[in-house]
Structure 1
Amino acid sequence: MTVFSTNGPQSDPTVQPVPASVVAQVDAADSTLSNPKQAVVSLGSNLGNRLETLQGAIDALEDTPGLRVKAVSPVYETEPWGVEPGTQPSYLNAVVLIRTTLPPSSLLERGQAIEEAFERVRDERWGSRTIDVDILTYADVVSDDPLLTLPHPRAHQRAFVLAPWHDVDPQAQVPGQGPVAELLTDVGRGGVRPRADLELRLPE
């Protein structure tokens, strides 16, 4: 098994999306996505215009050479994870299904570039953030690399990940953990609520 190592823009969040060497490799496959892999990405925001930021991150993903956004979940509002209640604003969360010819390490770099473009600050582990871009799964890859652990090591414990993930892909599986539907039943939906009044757009 191959083990792989995964920041509302100031100007354009799609500028320099991935290193030039990677762009050169995937440009030719951009129109057809020859032999793409499916990946699942979680998005969260609890600062600024949260919905606009989530949409901006989705659009930036779609603008990445060698990547196509295939489905976007409904929006959920959730209580912040790992902090005292009432100490941070609530999050808006969503899950995105993508098809990509990028390897996991380059997909990680792209997610981090989107976070940086939206001025994500990393002062504390569970701190507020304009945008959080997490790779949940990449095909069936399992990796314990500390730079990018796959599947995401805490995805199976988090209702704010599992609820939108189940909505966008009811048959989804977390490698090594089981069906998302069963994991969501085990975790429950406490602290998360659907926001039917808010909608994210699938890029055209």
Structure 2
Amino acid sequence: MPVNEVRVFIGLGSNLPGELDSPQQQIISALQELDALPQTRLVKASPLYQSRAVGPEQPDYINAVAQLGTHLEPLALLDALQALEQQHRRVRLQHWGPRTLDLDLLLYGNDTIDHPRLTVPHAFLTQRAFVLYPLADLAPELVLPCGTSLLPLLDKCPTDGLQRFIE
């Protein structure tokens, strides 16, 4: 277990309602559940955003990014995130398909991880407005493990219809 708390960023997305919850409520519930993970605390969360879906025809997504402090190792954190997805009845029917909840480990401290189950930084982090903009809301000074600053990436990433979600 890491001795010191590690700063991690989690991407959240939902475009399907759960049994009782809208996509935005799925995200709000997931933020509370992230804060309740063992050896982990929610530091802050970005505003919610609405974005067009990547992949096959499907409803728009509600997205956010959460900053956590954790003492969990990366794969233990991944297991916890996947367990939360299952609690929200996530079904993996197709790549980039619709989902009740998607939780992606975007960054784990300043580590680069290349494991069969986990790639950190997240493979599409630098190309997705629905990740970059909420991430910049939380940590505009952030420098990725490769040495690239976050803010210049925003200039290269079209918003693709991304907008702050207003209920």
Which amino acid is the alignment partner of residue 41 of structure 2?
Answer: R
Return the alpha-carbon distance in structure 2 between the equivalents of residues 128 and 136 of structure 1.
20
**Runs (4+) off by over 2 Å:** none
Return the alpha-carbon distance in structure 1 between the equivalents of residues 123 and 164 of structure 2.
24
For residue 168 of structure 1, the aligned residue among 113, 138, 141 is 138
Aligned counterparts, 1:102-121, within 5 A: 102-121=72-91
Aligned counterparts, 1:24-173, within 5 A: 35-48=4-17, 49-83=22-56, 87-173=57-143
For residues 78-99 of structure 1, give each alpha carbon's deviation from its aligned partner in whole angstroms, at most 9, with x where no partner exists: 000123xxx2110000000000
Which amino acid is the alignment partner of residue 47 of structure 2?
Answer: P
The alpha carbon displacement at 1:135 in A equals 0.3
The alpha carbon displacement at 1:177 in A equals 6.0
What are the ranges of 5 or more consecutive residues in structure 1 without an aligned counterpart? 1-24, 27-33, 199-204
Query: Is the CA contact 2:55–2:97 (under 8 Å) kept in the aligned structure 1?
Result: no
For residues 23-57 of structure 1, give each alpha carbon's deviation from its aligned partner in whole angstroms, at most 9, with x where no partner exists: xx79xxxxxxx620000000000001011100111
Return the alpha-carbon distance in structure 1 between the equivalents of residues 88 and 104 of structure 2.
15
Report the TM-score when normalising by structure 2: 0.93
Query: Is the CA contact 1:136–1:150 (under 8 Å) kept in the aligned structure 2?
Result: yes
The alpha carbon displacement at 1:113 in A equals 0.2
Aligned counterparts, 1:186-197, within 5 A: 186-195=156-165, 197=166
Percent of aligned positions that are identical: 36
* Structure having the larger proportion of residues in strand: 2
Count of residue pairs the alignment pairs up: 163
Return the alpha-carbon distance in structure 1 between the equivalents of residues 149 and 85 of structure 2.
29
Report the TM-score when normalising by structure 1: 0.76
The alpha carbon displacement at 1:181 in A equals 1.1
The alpha carbon displacement at 1:60 in A equals 0.9
The alpha carbon displacement at 1:169 in A equals 1.2
**RMSD, aligned CA:** 1.5
Return the alpha-carbon distance in structure 1 between the equivalents of residues 144 and 160 of structure 2.
20
Which amino acid is the alignment partner of residue 175 of structure 1?
Answer: P
